[in-house]
Amino acid sequence: MRFVIVTGMSGGGKSTAMKMLEDMGYYCVDNMPVSLLDKFIELIAVPNKELSKVALGIHARPDQDFKEAENVLTKLKEDGFQYEILFMDASKEALIRRYKESRRIHPMSLSNGERVEEGIEREKTILKGIRQRADYVIDSSKLLTRVLKEELNRIFVENEAYDSLMVTIMSFGFKHGIPSDADLVFDVRFLPNPYYIDELKNLTGNDAPVRDYVMKFPEANEFLKMLEDMINFLIPKYVKEGKNQLVIGVGCTGGKHRSVTLANELYARLKGTGSFGLALTHRDSAKK
């Protein structure tokens, strides 16, 4: 039996992950009281052909001692019981925004008047231990639902290796500002601009005529080769340092032609080449 424990920050995507795992054939039980954890595991540990895949969601709550859950998991590991921990995380800014949009009270808030940020910090301290022992840490701060589903399928259905690093390739236009969350930024304005060609002006790098125009220049392919080599060099270093998310910004003037083309090409070159998640987004391609 494959047993997955889903936990993490409130607002980090635990419920969404549980629903996706259920769609993938997992028997899911969410928000079980910590005090019942050992009893539940004792019941499902009995050989049962109907329960070949189980996912259990556990949450930090002010009225429960989460340390009890960690003690149960430690004992299970000592007894040889196999399980995996999926930790759903997000940046403080993303968590605050999600709670403000939903107008919900953070579950770790000690009073209705307490700031969401204080509840987040309290929860982060409580979950620090289980996060460190998690097999998979997924940062949902900038993650599309579609990409999260692909990642969960890759890990829990296709059984592919995972190093807890999500790489996002983002095209953008410098005239709209550099993405605030970009870790690496590359300027491709050294390439000829399709904007000044009438038949290409109103197209984007997602269209074949623009792609063919940009990629016909040797500099485009040479740049991509060097960029691919550098990223493949850096990724293992980031994984070793425990980085969860890497955003690579590829920018041109307006974010419609050159940056979109090269972001697409870089995504195609990196896809399937390593044990990391990969996402592609075009921030400004639809802007005027």
Rg (CA), the chain: 22
Does 141 lie in the same domain as 9? yes
Question: Quick check: 224 and 186 in contact, CB under 8 A?
Answer: no
Which residues of the chain have a pLDDT value below 70?
47-49, 110-113, 161-164, 275
Residue 237 belongs to some domain of the structure: yes
123 and 239 co-located in one domain: no
Same domain? For 14 and 152 the reply is yes
Each residue of 178-198: pLDDT tens digit?
A: 998 899 999 999 999 999 999
CATH number where 116 lies: 3.40.50.300
Last residue of a domain, which of 156, 184, 202?
A: 156
| Residue 53 is assigned to a structural domain of this protein | yes
Same domain, 8 and 148: yes
pLDDT (0 to 100) of residue 119: 87
Whether residue 287 lies inside any domain: the answer is: no
166 close to 151: Cβ distance less than 8 angstroms:
yes
How far lies 196's CA from each of 190, 192, 193, 258, in Å?
A: 14, 9, 6, 12
Are 176 and 152 part of one and the same domain? no
Q: Which range marks the domain in which residue 138 is found?
A: 2-156
pTM, entire model: 0.68
Please indicate, yes or no, whether residues 46 and 18 belong to a single structural domain of this protein.
yes
pLDDT of residue 20: 95
Could you say which of 156, 177, 211 is where a domain stops? 156
pLDDT of residue 166: 82
In a domain, 138, yes or no: yes
**Residue 171 sits in the same domain as residue 138:** no
Domain boundary among 121, 156, 191: 156
Number of domains in the chain: 2
**What does residue 282 show for φ and ψ, rounded to 5 degrees?**
-115, 100
Please check whether residue 245 lies inside any domain of the structure: yes
Say if CB 270 and CB 278 are below 8 A apart: yes
In a domain, 74, yes or no: yes
Q: Cα–Cα distance between 181 and 163 in angstroms, integer? A: 21
Please report the pLDDT score of residue 219 as a whole number.
97
CA torsion sign, 143 to 25 to 133 to 43?
A: positive
